[in-house]
Amino acid sequence: MSTELSDAVGDLNIEQTNENGKCENEDDDIVDPWNVVSKSQEGIDYDKLIRRFGSSKIDQEFIARFEKVTGKKVHHFLRRGIFFSHRDVHTILTHYEQNKPFFLYTGRGPSSGSMHLGHLIPFIFAKWLQDIFDVPIVIQLTDDEKFLWKDIKLEEANRLAYENAKDIIACGFDVNKTFIFSNMDFMGQNPEFYRNILRIEKCVTFNQVKGIFGFGDSDVIGKISFPAIQAAPCLSSSFPFIFGKAKVPCLIPCAIDQDPYFRMTRDVAPRLGYSKPALLHSTFFPALQGAQTKMSASDNNTAIFLTDTPKQIKNKVNKHAFSGGQATVEEHREKGGNCDVDISYQYLTFFLEDDERLEQIKKDYTSGALLTGELKKILIETLQPIVKTHQENRAKITDEIVREYMTLRKLNFQC
Ligand code: TRP
């Protein structure tokens, strides 16, 4: 595996990706930090993505080791292939077995005030990881990224970071082990962060980011240097108030579209004397209209927002959730429904924890015993309490509590 970034795009050999993760032909799914589009109704071909990106599949053997090392049953996101791919997690598990420390890193680009269900997935999972491993987590809010990429005022992006922090905190992160930061503010609070950004910036050429991210001549220069800012939290020395001078390995749970940032980081980190960050990749949370694309906050009808009322949830699911059922009841009873394309079923795989019940639903829908309307009703009744509980938890997060999570401080952690 290459540890040297080559200057020529054609020679790029980061993580031995196939053409650096880019599409080989027109039929390939598009997956990058800005676009997720599949031509298939069943959504992205994730096995193909693993081959293209050169990551490792999360299989039974991986899950068995994970359970052995942690002594706990894995989260249903792992059991059901929602977190489906990884890089170097075996190294982290070995580290953990040897009682050596590591930390978690994830983030969010605060582009809208109202987060949707899909945005919760990495945070629900990260909170679970924090609990089972009892490790610290740093959460980056990329208000700078959203300012650069979206038509949004700088002050507004910064405000949204603090709004979104409330939704993130509402997922239940342990205040003694969690540090949340806005890039815009953190940059001025902690010189070590900018120093690491500089070190990373010096390792990567324009040609290389062009190859990885597809930047072009007319992209503003802020975009071109941004990947270094998303990379820097992988280096524990970016947080001297938490880790001191220790070099602590990093594990990143994220959606697979963020992988380009960390392919770049994995190449740079060893050159700066750090281990490569390990990754756990999730699939995308599909849009209500179907799995060709992910849920998006900019289209009201593709998304269930964390601010939606029970009635709105009911209406959206009934009206918009793409159905794998048949056109008439008679036909459905005869031929059965298709869970592979049915969005209500897909959402249940994310949010219905009971494995046996989910299995029964799949059987009944496939055989035609369960109708689309009935399946939608199960989904509505599953989502309504989850969203309501989230709203109740969020309502308790005061500005003071946000300040606590976002204050530079020592965490409850020994390295
Ligand atoms: N770029 C990500 C987004 O737009 C935010 C982010 C920053 C992130 N650091 C991260 C996501 C680390 C996952 C892991 O949402």
Q: Assess whether 197 and 51 both reside in one domain.
A: yes
Q: Assess whether 352 and 224 both reside in one domain.
A: no
Q: What is the Å distance from ligand 1's center to 155 Cα?
A: 19
First vs last C-alpha separation in the chain: 29
**Mean pLDDT computed over 136-163:** 97
117 has a pLDDT exceeding 60:
yes
Pairing of strands 278-282, 250-255: parallel
DSSP label of 305: B
**Helices assigned H by DSSP within 276-398:** 310-320, 329-335, 343-351, 355-367, 372-395
For atom 8 of ligand 1, the residue with the nearest CA is 107
Distance CA 345, CA 351 (A): 10
Q: Assess whether 91 and 188 both reside in one domain.
A: yes
Model pLDDT for residues 155-167, shown as the tens digit of each residue:
999 999 999 999 9
Q: Which residues of 97-107 are buried (b: 16+ CB within 10 A; e: fewer)?
A: eeeebbbbbbb
35 near 214, Cβ under 8 Å?
A: no
Mutation test of ligand 1: which of 86, 115, 258 has the most ligand atoms closer than 8 Å to its C-beta?
258
- Mean pLDDT, all residues of the chain: 92
For atom 9 of ligand 1, the residue with the nearest CA is 107
pTM over 0.75: yes
- Whether residue 144 has its Cβ less than 6 Å from ligand 1: no
Model pLDDT for residues 218-236, shown as the tens digit of each residue:
999 999 999 999 999 999 9
Confidence of residue 34 (pLDDT cuts 50, 70, 90): confident
Q: Report residue 278 as tokens.
A: 């390990």
Of 274, 278, 279, nearest to 245 by C-alpha is 274
Q: What is the Å distance from ligand 1's center to 34 Cα?
A: 11
Confidence of residue 415 (pLDDT cuts 50, 70, 90): confident
Q: Assess whether 330 and 238 both reside in one domain.
A: no
- Whether residue 164 has its Cβ less than 6 Å from ligand 1: no
Pairing of strands 178-182, 286-287: unpaired
Q: Three-state DSSP class for 37?
A: strand
- Among 248, 263, 289, residue at a domain's last position: 289
Q: Assess whether 346 and 282 both reside in one domain.
A: no
- Among 260, 289, 318, residue at a domain's last position: 289
Which pLDDT score, from 0 to 100, does residue 326 have? 96
Contacts of 328 (CB under 8 A, 6+ apart): none
Q: Assess whether 210 and 348 both reside in one domain.
A: no
Per cent of the chain over pLDDT 90 is 85
Distance CA 160, CA 63 (A): 37
81 near 63, Cβ under 8 Å?
A: no
**Mean pLDDT computed over 295-311:** 88
**Mean pLDDT computed over 373-397:** 98
Q: Assess whether 224 and 202 both reside in one domain.
A: yes
Q: What is the Å distance from ligand 1's center to 255 Cα?
A: 9
List the CATH number of the domain containing 80.
Answer: 3.40.50.620
Q: Assess whether 99 and 181 both reside in one domain.
A: yes
Model pLDDT for residues 176-211, shown as the tens digit of each residue:
999 999 999 999 999 999 999 999 999 999 999 999
Residue 294 lies in a domain: no
